[in-house]
Structures are given as C-alpha cells and as structure tokens.
Amino acid sequence: MIEALDEEFRAAGLPSFGEMIRTLSRASGSAPLGRKKLELGIVMGMKTAIDQMPEPSAKQLEKYLQATRGKLRYQIRQEITKSFERIKKSLPRRPGTGRRKALDPQLENQACDQVAALIRQKVPYPIVLKRVGERFGVSGRTIQRAWQKRGQS
C-alpha cells in the first residue's frame, strides 16, 4: 500500500514516505518552512493513519489500490492549493501595502467644512462636490466619500 501511495505522491510532485523521513531526520531542530512543512505534515499524517489501520485482506487491499491509483495525485494537489490559500489569508499583510488615501483626515475635515458652507449657500450638491474637488485636486467622488463618512470617525 505504501508503494502505491509513494507512486501517487511522486506523480503529484510530493516526496515519498522514505524521502520525508530522511528530510525530517536531516532537519532535526530546524523546522522546514513553507511548502516543505505542509508536505511533511500531509505525508506524515497519512503514514500515521496507515500505520494505525488494521492489516487489510488481499481482496480489500486490491480494492483500495484500484480506488487510489491515478486519483489521489489530483486530490492532493487540490488540498495543497486550498491549504496554501487558507495560510495566505491568515498571514498579516505587509505594512504600507494598499492604495494611499487621496486626502488625509485633516484635509477631509477641511473639505467637509467647505461642502457644508456651500450647501448652506444653496449650491446644488453635484456642483458642490465638483467645486470642492477642484480646490483640493481630487475628484468629486472622493469628496462625496469624505462627506458621507464625516460623522463616523
């Protein structure tokens, strides 16, 4: 059974059980990172599960091997991809990534004050947004966003 699984692992681009054990013994003390760590976890978990299973009869073994051959390699690839996506989502983002704000909070407050002043003068709202946007060098939509979130922070 181990030989059939080793064949599927090689087809999926993973090391065999023996290669994993050698990698673990060489890495003693320093944990492998990234993909290697994930591969080690998958393969060692499967080996432990196989070791704990009762010995199958020849008929059961043949049935299991028929069900496994040619299919496991694709299932492993899917699981590795899903695992990496989950790990990637759980990692903190690098500071400084993402889009910068067009207006800092102080400029947003000033823009909102000007919007309020023009609205009090009965200037139509779309024209207010355009005028204030031109004064601050941003679009009317940016001023609208600042105006809509003015009481939230």
User: Range of 72's domain?
Assistant: 2-90
In a domain, 95, yes or no: no
Split into its structural domains, the chain has a count of 2
Same domain, 48 and 81: yes
In a domain, 98, yes or no: no
Same domain, 77 and 109: no
- 42-93 tens-digit pLDDT: 667 777 777 787 877 888 878 877 777 777 777 777 777 777 777 777 777 7
In a domain, 40, yes or no: yes
| Percentage above 70 pLDDT, the chain | 83
> Residue 31 CA to chain centroid, in angstroms?
22
Same domain, 26 and 53: yes
In a domain, 69, yes or no: yes
- 86: how many CB neighbours lie within 10 A of its CB? 9
DSSP 151: T
Contact 111, 47 (CB under 8 A): no
Q: Name the nearest CA neighbour of 1 among 39, 76, 45, 58.
A: 58
Same domain, 44 and 72: yes
